[in-house]
Amino acid sequence: MKRIIFLLLLTMVILTGCSAATVSPTVTKTPEASMKEFSSKIASQHYSEAYVYFSPDFQKKESLEHFITTLGPVMYECKTFASLGSYPSPLKNESPDSAQLVYKTGSKVEDTIQLTLVKINGEWKLNDFR
């Protein structure tokens, strides 16, 4: 009887440990880190993987299919999004749940890209860009 109770307890401990290990979410610590990962996905033309970096609000406006066939390739061709990680640290205006990043992409004043991100469940998601 003691052996059965011991085995049941051991099984519960093992199952609890395994489930805790698989549930832990990946959290992007900074908006810049999130955009560097997004940029890497665009540069490698993994558009469906890049799409997960968009906020739910953005995804309502832009379907995955349209992103894969149209917007993703345009982002790749213009090279701006594909090289965000290589630009110097952007100007940043950040609050706890939103951030605006401005990357200087060239020598002219107008050579910038402004990204608006929101923090959702601990992850920074791209909500808008111009």
Looking up tokens 């052996």, which residue turns up? Answer: 3
pLDDT at 77: 87
pLDDT above 70 as % of the chain: 75
pLDDT at 22: 38
Q: Specify whether the CB–CB gap between 123 and 53 falls below 8 A.
A: no
Tell me the pLDDT band of 3, cut-offs 50, 70 and 90: low
Alpha-helical runs (H) found in the chain: 2-23, 31-43, 47-51, 56-61, 64-66, 72-78
Show the domains of the chain with their CATH numbers: 28-129 (3.10.450)
Task: State yes or no: pLDDT of 126 exceeds 60.
Answer: yes
pLDDT at 8: 45
Closest CA relative to residue 123, chosen from 30, 23, 22, 41 = 30
Highest mean pLDDT range out of 6-20, 43-57, 95-109, 112-126?
43-57
What residues contact residue 32 under an 8 Å CB cut-off, 6+ apart?
89, 90, 92, 101
Among 13-22, 49-58, 94-103, the minimum mean pLDDT is found in 13-22
Closest CA relative to residue 118, chosen from 59, 42, 40 = 59
Q: What is the side-by-side strand order in the sheet with 123-129?
A: 91-94, 98-104, 112-120, 123-129
Q: What is the pLDDT of residues 21-78, one digit of tens each?
A: 333 345 557 888 899 899 899 999 999 999 999 999 999 999 999 999 999 998 888 8
Task: State yes or no: pLDDT of 110 exceeds 80.
Answer: no
Task: Note the pTM of the prediction, 2 decimals.
Answer: 0.70
